[in-house]
C-alpha cells in the first residue's frame, strides 16, 4: 500500500502497524474469467438500454479482454432514480441503523481483503495491502477503507472544466475537482541526496507516471546537480519492468494506445527542444504498451516536457542557483496540486513550503498521504479538498 500514515511500505513485510503478523506476499495473479460486464443499478445487472458496449484490452499484451456494457443518458437516469428511491423515508436503507450499515461495510472490507491481490494487480509492489485492520468502531469504516490509501490518481483538467460548466447549469451542484498537475520538487544541496533521488523517482514513476501527483519537475541546486542526475539514471535503470500481474514487477505498461503514443510524442519533443535524454525514452520491443523509465537532464522551463502534464514515466531534472529562483520557477505553472522540498534545514523547509502555490507540500518525502490531512489543488489542479 502507498503512504499510509505518512510512510511508504513495500508490501514485502506486510507490516500492519498494529503488531499483527505480516500478510503473506501474494503470488502472481492469474487472469480470471470475466463474469460481470453489465451495468450495476439498484443491486442488479442491466444491459445498456441502447445496446452500447465498449472493448477493453490488456495493455501488457494488447489482447482484448472483453466487451463491457456502456451506459448512456437513459441508464444514468435509471441509476439516479434508484439512488433517490434509496434515500427516501421508509426505504430499506433509511430504516437500517448505523451498526447494521457498519456491518455491511465491514463485510465489504473483508471481501476486499480476500481479493486484495486481484484488486491491486498491475500496481507496484506494496499496493496489495489495500485494506489495513479496522479499528474497533464501525463509524470509521468508510474513512479507513475508502479514503486512507491513494492507490492511483487520475485527473484531467479539461474534463474538470466540463464538469464545472455542467454543474453551473444544474441547480448549483457542489463539485469537488481533483485534477492534473505538473508537480515540482526542489532539492537543495544540503539535503540527503540519495533519499531525494529515491523519493523523487518514486514520485515520477509510480504507476508508470500515470498519477496526477507525479513528480515530473525536479529542480536541483547546481552544486549537486550532476551527482543527482548520475544517481537518478542509475536508479531508473534498476527498475524492474515486466508482467503487471507479477508482484515482483515495479513498472508495467501504459493504460492504452492513445496515452502510449502521447507520451512518446512528448519524449520526442524533449529531444528536439534540446533536453538531454539520459536513459529510457523508448518503447519496449516486446508486445504491450511498455515505455522505459525515462530521465531528461538540462531541461529548460519553456520546453513542452516542462510545461505539459505527460502522465507517463518521464522525469525532468532542472538546475537552479538560488532559493528564490527555485520558488519562482516552481510556481510558474497553471497547475498547483503537489510539491516537495528536500533539505536538512527546517527553517528553509518551512519558508519554501509556505511560498509554494500547491495544495500539498511534502518535506523530505513524496506521496505521503494521511486520511487526517486535506488533499486537493489550486489553480488548474482543481478545487475543493478530499480526506
- Angle at the Cα of 55 from the Cα atoms of 51 and 56, rounded to 5 degrees: 140
Q: Which triple of cell numbers denotes residue 294?
A: 525515462
The burial class, CB within 10 Å (0-12 / 13-18 / 19+), for 92 is exposed
Q: Which triple of cell numbers denotes residue 237?
A: 535503470
> CA-to-CA distance for 268 and 258, rounded, in angstroms?
16
* CA 65 to chain centroid: 24
- Whether the CB-CB separation of 142 and 131 falls below 8 Å is answered with no
* CA 23 to chain centroid: 24
Which residues are part of the catalytic machinery? 178
* CA 59 to chain centroid: 18
* Residues facing 241 on adjacent strands: 251
- Non-local (6+) Cβ contacts of 366 within 8 A are 185, 199, 200, 202, 203, 215, 340
* Residues facing 40 on adjacent strands: 45
List for the chain the helix, strand, coil content (%; round to 5).
Answer: 35, 15, 50
Report, in angstroms and rounded to the nearest whole number, the Rg of the chain calculated over CA atoms: 22
For 162-180, b where at least 16 C-beta lie within 10 A, e where not — what string? ebeeeeeeeeeeeeebbbb
* CA 239 to chain centroid: 18
> CA-to-CA distance for 204 and 216, rounded, in angstroms?
6
- Whether the CB-CB separation of 176 and 28 falls below 8 Å is answered with no
Amino acid at each position: 500500500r502507498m503512504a499510509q500514515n505518512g510512510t511508504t511500505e513495500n508490501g514485502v513485510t506486510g507490516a500492519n502497524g498494529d503488531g499483527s503478523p505480516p500478510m503473506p506476499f501474494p503470488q502472481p495473479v492469474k487472469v480470471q474469467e470475466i463474469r460481470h460486464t453489465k451495468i450495476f443499478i439498484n443491486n442488479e445487472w442491466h444491459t445498456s438500454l441502447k445496446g452500447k458496449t465498449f472493448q477493453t484490452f490488456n495493455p501488457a499484451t494488447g489482447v482484448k479482454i472483453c466487451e463491457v456494457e456502456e451506459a448512456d443518458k437513459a441508464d444514468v437516469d435509471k441509476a439516479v432514480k434508484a439512488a433517490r428511491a434509496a434515500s427516501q423515508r421508509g426505504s430499506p436503507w433509511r430504516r437500517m441503523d448505523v451498526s447494521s450499515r457498519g456491518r455491511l461495510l465491514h463485510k465489504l472490507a473483508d471481501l476486499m481483503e480476500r481479493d486484495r491481490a486481484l484488486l491491486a494487480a498491475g500496481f507496484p509492489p506494496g499496493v496489495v495491502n489495500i485494506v489495513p485492520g479496522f479499528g474497533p468502531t464501525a463509524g470509521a469504516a468508510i474513512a479507513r477503507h475508502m479514503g486512507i490509501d491513494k492507490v492511483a490518481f487520475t485527473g484531467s483538467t479539461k474534463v474538470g472544466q466540463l464538469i464545472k460548466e455542467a454543474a453551473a447549469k444544474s441547480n448549483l451542484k457542489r463539485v469537488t475537482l481533483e485534477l492534473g498537475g505538473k508537480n515540482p520538487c526542489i532539492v537543495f544541496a544540503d539535503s540527503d541526496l540519495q533519499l531525494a533521488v529515491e523519493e523523487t523517482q518514486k514520485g515520477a514513476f509510480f504507476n508508470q507516471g500515470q498519477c496526477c501527483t507525479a513528480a515530473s519537475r525536479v529542480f536541483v541546486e547546481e552544486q549537486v546537480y550532476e551527482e543527482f542526475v548520475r544517481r537518478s539514471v542509475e536508479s531508473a535503470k534498476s527498475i524492474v519492468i515486466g508482467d503487471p500481474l507479477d508482484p515482483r514487477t515495479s513498472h508495467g505498461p501504459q493504460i492504452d494506445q492513445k496515452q502510449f503514443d502521447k507520451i512518446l510524442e512528448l519524449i520526442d519533443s524533449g529531444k528536439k527542444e534540446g533536453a538531454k535524454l539520459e536513459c529510457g525514452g523508448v518503447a519496449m520491443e516486446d508486445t504491450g504498451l511498455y515505455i522505459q523509465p525515462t530521465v531528461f537532464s538540462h531541461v529548460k522551463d519553456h520546453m513542452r516536457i516542462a510545461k505539459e502534464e505527460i502522465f507517463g514515466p518521464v522525469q525532468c531534472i532542472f538546475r537552479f542557483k538560488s532559493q528564490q529562483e527555485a520558488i519562482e520557477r516552481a510556481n510558474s505553472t497553471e497547475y498547483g496540486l503537489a510539491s516537495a522540498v528536500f533539505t536538512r534545514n527546517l527553517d528553509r523547509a518551512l519558508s519554501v513550503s509556505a511560498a509554494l502555490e500547491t495544495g500539498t507540500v511534502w518535506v523530505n518525502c513524496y506521496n505521503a498521504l494521511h486520511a487526517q490531512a486535506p488533499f486537493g489543488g489550486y489553480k488548474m489542479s482543481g478545487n475543493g479538498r478530499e480526506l
